[in-house]
């Protein structure tokens, strides 16, 4: 279906603002079309300042992109030689070019994942919106509808993308589409781990409505890599209550979605896995033992392990702790929530004649803990505490 609503076209063109693009429309081959997320987000009035631009062209996309990259001084990336897809990156813009699949633009759009992503802007002398599947109606109804089950199976990552779009747009999955996703979850195992990871990053950094939580629990999209023993009800309730992603909620959702083995399989970095392991350990410990039953040493270690990621832990705590902990964490001078030694290692080595090494590290940890619990208030007092601890614990005596 061709949409000839001039007012709608003018609004879309104004929001897309081609004058700011790093390329001129005249640089594109005849018959080119802009498709995908930028059209969807433009129609929803959700365009970013520099949206990703996806073009369908009727000529060799890789060769065209490589030539264009030289003209505009962009980085050229060959994405998929078999399907003839390339990417240009320039000045914060990402432009993808793909050769049209099928005999015409309609054939190409009918091979896409969801109807809201199968809307095109034909870049002709008089541009037109082309919507052969009814995606614009879905935008109005806030529904995510698959074009076909076969299209999802052709690239199983689309199964996960459907849920990601639900989270990002706060849309609902159409009943039949939800069934398509549920029936084909196991096919996600055939997708490259790196591609799954990129979708998960987008999922955990988006807001989850009550409907999104319920849908995830129903579908269990990442069941092959999931953590089963977390108190997700607290996380779910607070995410919905806050109405927007809280700082740190991405890590809380990440340990809910994936086990440590899952994180490793999906190629998350060592640092990301370490952060998740620390958070998971303390969530389990507090759930089983109770926050008030942690020892002084345990409470101090908690703040060392989670100084950066404490907001993620807060989402799992009882509500009576939430505001107090968040306020203290935001106070960079709070000695318990941001542990630090009052005396640096160089000074301690010089004054107490201590060589660098594990013993010095233990002393600095002791000073950090004593400071955290308010057992001294001046550097002179800290030095006395250091002398006493050194005499009692020194292996050199």
What string of DSSP letters covers 296-341? HHHHHHHHHHTTTTHHHHHTTS-HHHHHHHHHHHH-TT-TTTS---
The pLDDT of residue 396 is above 70:
no
How far, in Å, CA of 53 to CA of 371, rounded? 53
pLDDT of residue 95: 94
Work out whether strand 85-90 and strand 93-99 pair parallel, antiparallel, or are unpaired.
antiparallel
pLDDT band at 242 (very low <50, low <70, confident <90, very high): very low
Residue whose token pair is 């999209």: 221
pLDDT in tens, 191-240: 999 999 999 999 988 888 778 888 988 998 888 887 666 665 555 555 54
The Cα 257–Cα 175 span in angstroms is: 23
What was the pLDDT predicted at 234? 57
CA-to-CA distance for 151 and 105, rounded, in angstroms?
Answer: 16
All domains of the chain in start order, with CATH: 2-141 (3.30.460.10), 226-330 (no CATH), 345-393 (no CATH)
Instruction: State the DSSP code for 86.
Output: E
Whether 150 shows a pLDDT value over 60: the answer reads yes
pLDDT computed for residue 228 by the predictor: 61
Counting residues of the chain whose pLDDT is more than 70, the rounded percentage is 92
Cut 0.85: pTM above it = no
- β-bridge partners, 173: 144
Angle 85-54-139 (CA atoms, 0-180°, nearest 5)? 135
Q: Is the pLDDT confidence value at 247 over 60?
A: no
Dump pLDDT digits (tens) for 41-98: 999 999 988 999 999 999 899 999 999 999 999 999 998 888 899 999 999 999 999 9
For the chain, helix, strand, coil in percent to 5 are 55, 10, 35
On the question of pLDDT at 256 being above 90, the answer is no
190, pLDDT greater than 50: yes
């Amino acid at each position: 279906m061709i949409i000839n609503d001039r007012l709608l076209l003018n609004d879309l063109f104004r929001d897309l603002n081609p004058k700011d693009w790093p390329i001129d429309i005249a640089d594109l081959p005849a018959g080119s079309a802009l498709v995908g997320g930028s059209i969807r987000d433009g129609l929803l009035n959700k365009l970013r300042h520099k949206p990703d631009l996806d073009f369908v062209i009727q000529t060799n996309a890789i060769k065209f992109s490589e030539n264009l990259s030289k003209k505009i001084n962009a980085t050229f990336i060959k994405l998929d030689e078999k399907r003839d897809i390339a990417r240009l990156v320039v000045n914060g813009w990402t432009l993808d070019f793909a050769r049209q699949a099928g005999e015409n633009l309609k054939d190409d759009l009918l091979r896409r994942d969801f109807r809201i992503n199968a809307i095109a802007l034909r870049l002709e002398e008089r541009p037109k919106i082309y919507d052969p599947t009814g995606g614009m109606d879905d935008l109005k109804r806030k529904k995510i509808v698959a074009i076909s089950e076969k299209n999802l199976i052709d690239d199983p990552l689309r199964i996960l993308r459907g849920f990601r779009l639900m989270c990002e747009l706060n849309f609902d999955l159409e009943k039949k589409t939800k069934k398509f996703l549920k029936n084909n979850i196991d096919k996600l195992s055939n997708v490259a781990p790196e591609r799954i990871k990129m979708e998960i990053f987008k999922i955990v950094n988006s807001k989850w409505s009550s409907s999104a939580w319920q849908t995830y629990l129903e579908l269990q999209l990442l069941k092959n890599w999931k953590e089963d023993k977390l108190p997700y009800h607290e996380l779910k309730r607070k995410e919905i209550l806050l109405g927007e992603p809280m700082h740190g909620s991405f890590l809380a959702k990440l340990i809910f979605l994936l086990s440590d083995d899952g994180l490793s399989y999906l190629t998350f970095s060592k640092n990301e896995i370490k952060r998740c392991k620390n958070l998971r350990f303390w969530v389990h410990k507090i759930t089983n033992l109770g926050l008030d039953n942690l020892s002084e040493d345990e409470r101090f270690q908690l703040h060392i392990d989670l100084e950066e990621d404490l907001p993620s832990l807060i989402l799992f705590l009882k509500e009576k702790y939430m505001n107090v902990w968040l306020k203290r964490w935001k106070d960079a001078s709070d000695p318990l929530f941001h542990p630090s030694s009052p005396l640096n290692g160089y000074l301690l080595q010089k004054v107490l004649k201590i060589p660098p090494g594990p013993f010095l590290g233990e002393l600095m940890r002791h000073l950090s803990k004593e400071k955290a619990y308010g057992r001294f208030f001046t550097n002179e007092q800290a030095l006395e505490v250091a002398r006493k601890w050194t005499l009692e614990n020194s292996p050199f005596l």
